[in-house]
Amino acid sequence: MAALVIRDVNKRFGPVDVLQGINLEIGSGEFTVLVGPSGCGKSTLLNIIAGLEKQTSGSVEIDGRAVNDVPPRDRDIAMVFQSYALYPSMTVRQNITFGMECRNVPRAERDAAVARVSHLLQIEPLLNRKPGQLSGGQRQRVAMGRALVRDPKLFLFDEPLSNLDAKLRVEMRMEIKQLHQRIHSTMVYVTHDQIEAMTMATRIAVMHHGLVQQFADPETVYNRPANLFVARFMGAPPMNTLPARLVAAGSGVNAVVGTGDEQVVLPLPPEMAGFAGREVILGLRPECIAEERRRFGEDVEPLMVEAPVVMTEPTGAETVVLLVLGGERVLGRLSPDVRLRPGERGRFSLDMRRACLFDPKTETLIG
Amino acid sequence: MREVPFTWTRGLVYIVVVLLAAAYLVPLVVVVLNSLRSAQEIAQTSMIGWPKTWAFGNYAEAWGSFCIAQTCTGIQPFMLNSMIITLPATVLSTLLGAVAGYAISLWRFRGDGWIFGLVTLGVFLPEQMRLIPWTIVLRDVGLSNTLAGLVMIHTIQGMSFTTLFCRNYYLSIPQELMKAARIDGAGFFRIFWRIVLPLSPPILIVTVIWQFTGIWNEFLYGVTLTTGTQQPITAALIALSAAIADAPQHGVQSAAVMVAALPTLLVYVFGGRYFVRGLTAGAVK
Amino acid sequence: MRRLPEVLVIWVPLLLSAGHVVVFTAWTTWMSFTPSTLMPASGWVGLRNYTSVLATRNWKIAFDNLLLFGAGFVVLTTLVGLILAILLDQRIRGENVLRSIFLYPMAVSFVVTGTVWSWLLNPGIGIQKLMNDLGWTTFRFDWLIDRDMAIWTIVLAAIWQASGFAMALLLAGLRSVEGDLIKAAQIDGAGPARIYLRVILPALWPIVISVLVILLQFAIKTFDLVRALTGGGPGLATQLPALVVYDFMFQRGQIGRGSAAAVLMLLTLLGVLLPYAAWKYVQRRRAANA
Ligand SMILES: Nc1ncnc2c1ncn2[C@@H]1O[C@H](COP(=O)(O)OP(=O)(O)OP(=O)(O)O)[C@@H](O)[C@H]1O
Ligand SMILES: [Mg+2]
């Protein structure tokens, strides 16, 4: 059964339409990640789900029950905030039990719950401290504890890791993922971080312009982005998008990029033959452009191109190379031992099986 | 703080600052010294001088037996009046202002902007605009010439100030904290009591000091809305100086002035640093 | 939030506090158009109260005095407060004690301030007498009884009382100027004087303006101080609008005219506050857009 259903939710702040018809259906036990550029309304949507903000129109159902007029306390949700929002004047223990205190849960039960959660998160030594005496990572754990102690129907996270340093973020990311695998709760998680989205989500909702652009599992969002926005937003570095003409070649089809001397002809997979004759935007992930010797599979005939290098960015694990292909600048991800210098011409191996085609007018995925 | 090496400019700064401080202390020193000098001694010299004989009796007389407008009870009953007015009005206006400031800043409601604008206006509205209405209201509710009437006035008027200051201070409480509390299931009063109030001491010190000194020192309402034995100390001091206009009693008068100023001076001496700190912690916006 | 205790604790006080401002302002304004004398009376006399108040010598002098007093008090108090703040900002020893000394006059009532300064300034018993007794027989300091100078005694006492408050606000302002800004100026080779003039004081403007406005509305409302220090005299030399209102309402039993004078006071006040509010609004908009 769907744990959370969002139907045609609109939200207007004064003259600004922040959300314009959001529809999501989230299954029980799913880990849904909301991503999108800053200001696209992710927090607003989360607040509406929590009941902290009232939608202008549309409805929210939690566990089959319409909760449009239910106040936050009765929605059976827990939320973790970016700033953690720990009550500064209370100890960690009081912070964790405040929700139960408000619901008049007996003391023995509260103590048991604190014991369980603090063991789970390993914050037992901190229980009698105030938030001001904790490090950023510890605060984050306490904020998690405050949510976990409640055992709610729905967990909401609003960028809970973005105030942590890079190392801690990776650790907490894995912990949250493990936690989800252990307790199987339904979670809605807002983040800016591509990797968090890809690694944690069972499904990703990409938001932009007040709309859900795509709602699918991470692999689909990554490999088959629904439109150019998603293609360019997801992935770091983002997908290369080049205008191309599709020309029939025997039983197959070629993408022709650029004109004159710069022109490059890229054979596409045979199933795209039907698009011959169209102008399209060709999408190619940077990892589909690699050094000459790379093979993308046992029986795959590699496609070789020669192209001038504009710039290289060694990151250690790989080297990102900016090259010019058919007059367009594109990024490739090369093995770090390949040393190319700006201005040189290099030879690159291309994997066209994962190419995407977008309609240049509607910008949606067509093939 | 880093030690700053001595230079001539710094020496000059010290000299200027100490001289200025001495000048600011002159009136206080004069009052204290005069309160210990006899009337004859003052009359023979001037208001500025070191006591030849210590006339401690001035204080006893000012406190308990000096005659002000036919009643020879000293300033003692008027001090008591001021206490009876100031303490409840300070506490009430601070508490109500804190709740109101909390409601306006953290729970947006329809018309909150208007209410807040009016409250702010109340801080600036001259007392002269409210004098006659208050007179009539007091008469109609049967509180004419009573201390309770002044308590009511100072509570209602004082709320303007306390609401303004608390509201400005509470604006710095993050909205996410409020959201977390609402999800935890806390209501209006529980959030106030358990989360907002524990964060409030800096601003409450400011409002309490401000209200206490403001109400204690208030004169216009005291002199127009009360008479005789119901008057607060400020009105009594003026009556006292009128009473001795013909036969100056500067020693006793100084003692009375000193006693009248003592409560607020003590409040400042002990609370002053918190006052400045709280004022700068966000009350001025 | 629709429950009874909430209504009682929030709405009743809030409405009383906001409501009395509206109702009383309207009420006094209405009385200023009635022929009220000893008691409020109904009837309509149009602007007659206003024209007669504006025509009295009392009001004219009071208003002229207000201009003089207001300008002198506001400018000098801010200046003194600024000097004190800059001096205290020099990381000197005993800052806490000094700050308390400059601030303590604020704790005492205007009645006390007025009384004490009336002694000090009274030529018969104050500073002049002391100097004469000490042998400087030609020393004269008799502003208190000098019609032309009496208003400055009020300014003097008021500065003594309020400059500590100005200092506290300005000191807070000085201390809140960003440290990096000062470091940048130091690296640019600016000396302490230049840093104050070119970096810190310009950043202090918003607080200076706030201080000016607070002091100005203070000046417009000044009543107790004059009552205790000069009683408005000698003659009408230190008469101020607040005293004129009191005089009309309670000494002469002319509530209608007193109300008109009170409304004129309010208008003067609004003349200061509205531009200030507008300025604040523009500033906030600018900050929001930046
Ligand atoms: N209370 C409000 N009043 C007016 N506008 C608001 C309010 N809250 C949010 N907005 C606007 O709504 C839009 C969406 O805000 P929201 O906080 O949901 O964005 P977000 O996707 O969470 O961004 P971020 O990634 O930066 O957190 C923004 O343009 C914001 O300015
Ligand atoms: Mg957000």
Question: What is the per-residue pLDDT across A210-262, written as a single tens digit (0 to 9) for each?
Answer: 999 999 999 999 999 999 999 999 988 899 999 999 998 888 899 999 888 88
Q: B190 touching A, CB under 8 A?
A: yes
Environment class of A123 (CB within 10 Å of its CB; exposed 0-12, middle 13-18, buried 19+): buried
Mutation test of the interface with chain C: which of B33, B91, B114, B132, choosing the one with the most C Cβ atoms within 10 A? B132
Looking at CA atoms only, how far is residue A103 from chain B in angstroms?
7
- Report residue A27: phi and psi, to 5°: -80, 160
C224 contact residues in B (CB cutoff 8 A): 217, 219-220, 234
Q: Assess whether pLDDT exceeds 90 at residue B208.
A: yes
C129 contacts: CB under 8 Å, gap ≥ 6: B45, B46, B47, C122, C123
Query: What ligand is nearest to the CA atom of residue A37?
Result: 1
Average pLDDT over residues B183-212: 91
Q: Find which of B106, B176, B183, B200 to mutate to test the A interface (most A CBs within 10 Å of its CB).
A: B183
A85–chain B nearest CA distance, Å: 5
* H helix intervals, A154-225: 166-183, 194-200, 218-223
What pLDDT is attached to residue A220? 94
B4 with C28: Cβ contact below 8 A: no
- At residue C72, does pLDDT exceed 80? yes
Q: Which residues partner with A311 through β-bridges?
A: A322
Considering only CB atoms, which chain B residues are within 8 Å of C220?
126
Residue indicated by tokens 């001289």: B19
How far is the centre of ligand 2, averaged over its atoms, from the C-alpha of B128 (Å)? 50
Ligand 1 atom with least separation from CA of A41 = 18
Q: Chain C residue with minimal CA distance to B108?
A: C1
The answer to whether the CB atoms of B195 and A89 lie below 8 A apart is yes
Considering chain B, what percentage of its residues have pLDDT values greater than 90?
39
Contact (CB, 8 A) for B199 and A89: yes
pLDDT at B281: 61
Higher-confidence position of A150 and A35: A35
C-beta of residue B252 within 8 angstroms of C-beta of residue B64: no
To test the pocket of ligand 1, the residue of A10, A13, A46, A159 to mutate (highest count of ligand atoms within 8 Å of its CB) is: A13
Contact between C147 and C133 under an 8 Å Cβ cutoff? The reply is no
**Residue C221 lies in domain:** 48-289
CA within 13 Å, CB half, C141: 17
User: pLDDT (tens digit, 9 = 90+) per residue, B228-243?
Assistant: 888 999 998 888 887 7
Q: In what order do the strands lie in the sheet with A77-80?
A: A77-80, A154-158, A186-190, A31-35, A203-208, A211-216
Is B174 within 8 Å of A85 when comparing Cβ atoms? yes
SS3 B129: helix
pLDDT level of residue B13 (50, 70, 90 thresholds) = confident
Among residues A112, A116, A113, A141, which one has the least CA distance to residue A126?
A: A141
Q: How far apart are CA C129 and CA C98, in angstroms?
A: 30
> Whose CA is closest to atom 19 on ligand 1?
A39
Residues whose CB falls within 8 Å of the CB of residue B193, separated by 6 or more in sequence, listed in order:
none
CB C267 within 8 A of CB C157: no
Q: How far apart are CA A240 and CA A356, in angstroms?
A: 10
Tell me what the mean pLDDT of segment A58-83 comes to: 91
Number of domains in chain B: 1
Confirm whether B7 is domain-assigned.
Answer: no
| Count of alpha carbons within 13 angstroms of residue A108, beta-carbon side | 0
Is B285 contained in some domain? no
Q: Look up the domain containing B144 and give its range.
A: 76-280
Could you write out the DSSP letters of every residue in A17-83?
EEEEEEEEEEETT-EEEEE-STTSSHHHHHHHHHTSS--SEEEEEETTEE-TT--GGGS-EEEE-TT
Nearest C-alpha to atom 25 of ligand 1 is from which residue?
A38
With the most atoms of ligand 1 within 8 angstroms of its CB, the residue from A10, A11, A12, A16 to mutate is A16
Q: Report the b/e string of A68-93 with b at 16+ CB within 10 A.
A: eeeebbebbbbbbbbbbbbbebbbbb
On whether the CB atoms of residues A358 and A283 are closer than 8 A, the answer is yes
Greater model confidence, A235 or C288:
A235
Measured between alpha carbons, how far is C177 from C189 in angstroms, rounded to an integer? 18
| pLDDT value, residue C209 | 87
* pLDDT at C8 > cutoff 60: yes
CA distance B102 to chain A (A): 16
Residues 6 or more apart in contact with residue A88 via CB below 8 angstroms: A130, A131, A132, B198, B199
CATH 2.40.50.140 placement within chain A: 240-358
Indicate whether B142 belongs to any domain: yes
The number of residues making up chain B comes to: 285
Give me the pLDDT at residue C290, please.
Answer: 66
Check residue A308 and give its pLDDT: 92
Q: How confident is the model at residue C150 (pLDDT cuts 50, 70, 90)?
A: confident
Chains near A (3 or more Cβ pairs under 8 Å): B
Lowest mean pLDDT among A143-147, C117-121, C189-193: C189-193
Per residue in C219-275, pLDDT (tens digit) is 888 888 888 888 877 878 888 999 999 988 888 888 889 999 999 999 998 998 889
Residue with the smallest CA separation from ligand 1 atom 17 is A43
**Ranges A194-198, A242-246, C45-49: which has the least confidence:** C45-49
- Is A102 part of the contact surface with chain B (CB cutoff 8 Å)? yes
Cα of A39 vs centre of ligand 2, distance in Å, is 7
Q: What's the average model confidence in pLDDT over B272-281?
A: 74
* Torsion angle defined by CA atoms of residues B7, B11, B14 and B16, in that order, rounded to the nearest 10 degrees: -130
pLDDT at C1 over 50: no
Does the structure show a pLDDT above 60 at B3? no
- On whether residue B178 sits in a domain, the answer given is yes
CATH number at A2-233: 3.40.50.300
Distance CA A63, CA A30 (A): 13
| Best C108, C137, C263, C272 residue to mutate vs chain B (most B CBs within 10 Å) | C108
Which has the closest alpha carbon to C39: C245, C243, C249? C249
- The residues near B54 (Cβ < 8 Å, ≥ 6 apart) are B36
CA of B194 to the centre of ligand 1 (A): 28
Average of pLDDT values for C35-47? 79
For chain A, residues classed under CATH 3.40.50.300 are: 2-233
For A240-358, CATH number? Answer: 2.40.50.140
d(C-alpha B43, C-alpha B245), whole Å: 13
What's C278's domain CATH number?
1.10.3720.10
Rounded Cα gap, residues A160 and B94, in angstroms: 37
Closest chain B residue to C134 measured between Cα atoms?
Answer: B45
Distance (Å, whole) CA A355 – CA A234: 15
* Inter-chain touch C88–B276, beta carbons under 8 Å: no
CB atoms under 10 Å from CB of A306, counted, come to 12
Residue with tokens 């950023």: A136
Residue C34 one-letter amino acid: T
C153-178 pLDDT tens trace: 899 999 999 999 999 889 888 888 77
Q: What is the pLDDT of residue C280?
A: 83
Encoding tokens for residue A229?
Answer: 């926005």
The mean of the pLDDT values for chain A is: 91
Q: Mind giving me the DSSP string for A261-303?
A: GG-EEEEEPGGGGGGTT-EEEEEE-GGGEEETT--SSTT--PE
> Which ligand gives the minimal distance to the CA of A193?
1
pLDDT in tens, A268-324: 988 888 888 899 999 999 999 999 888 888 777 778 899 999 999 998 889 999 999
Q: What is the mean pLDDT of residues B36-41?
A: 80
Q: What is the pLDDT of residues B58-102, one digit of tens each?
A: 888 888 877 776 777 888 899 999 999 999 999 999 999 999 999
What is the C-alpha separation between B81 and B151, in angstroms, rounded? 11
Q: How far apart are CA A191 and CA A195, in angstroms?
A: 10
Q: Give chain C's mean pLDDT.
A: 86
Q: Which CATH number goes with the domain that contains B172?
A: 1.10.3720.10
Least confident piece of the model among A320-334, B206-220, B238-252, C13-27: B238-252
What three-state secondary structure class fits A89?
coil
pLDDT at C2: 54
Q: How many CB atoms lie within 10 A of CB B262?
A: 13
Candidate from A114-123, B52-61, B154-163 with smallest mean pLDDT:
B52-61
Burial B38-66 (b: 16+ CB within 10 A, else e): bbebbeebbbbbebeeebeebbebbbeeb
Is the confidence at residue B137, as pLDDT, over 60? Answer: yes
**Is the model's pLDDT at A86 over the cut of 60?**
yes
Straight-line distance from the first to the last Cα atom of chain B, in angstroms, rounded to the nearest whole number: 28
Predicted-complex ipTM score: 0.85
Mark yes or no for CB contact B183/A87 under 8 Å: no
Half-sphere exposure of A117 (CA within 13 A, CB side): 24
* pLDDT attached to residue B285: 45
Give bridge partners of residue A24 from the DSSP assignment: A6
Q: Angle A248-A250-A254 (CA atoms, 0-180°, nearest 5)?
A: 40
For residue A265, the number of C-alpha atoms closer than 13 Å in the C-beta half-sphere is: 8
Give residue B1's pLDDT. 42
In a domain, C90, yes or no: yes
Angle at A287 between CA A256 and CA A298, to 5 degrees: 90
Contact B182 A52 (CB under 8 A): yes
How open is the CA angle B198-B199-B201, to the nearest 5 degrees? 85
> What's the structural domain count of chain C?
1
Q: Which of B2-16, C27-41, C62-76, C210-224 has the lowest mean pLDDT?
A: B2-16
Average pLDDT score over residue span B187-203: 91
% of chain B surpassing 70 pLDDT: 94
Question: Does B5 touch chain C if contact means CB atoms closer than 8 Å?
Answer: no
Return the residue of B nearest to C272 by Cα.
B124
Q: What is the mean pLDDT of residues A73-82?
A: 91
pLDDT for the residue C141: 78
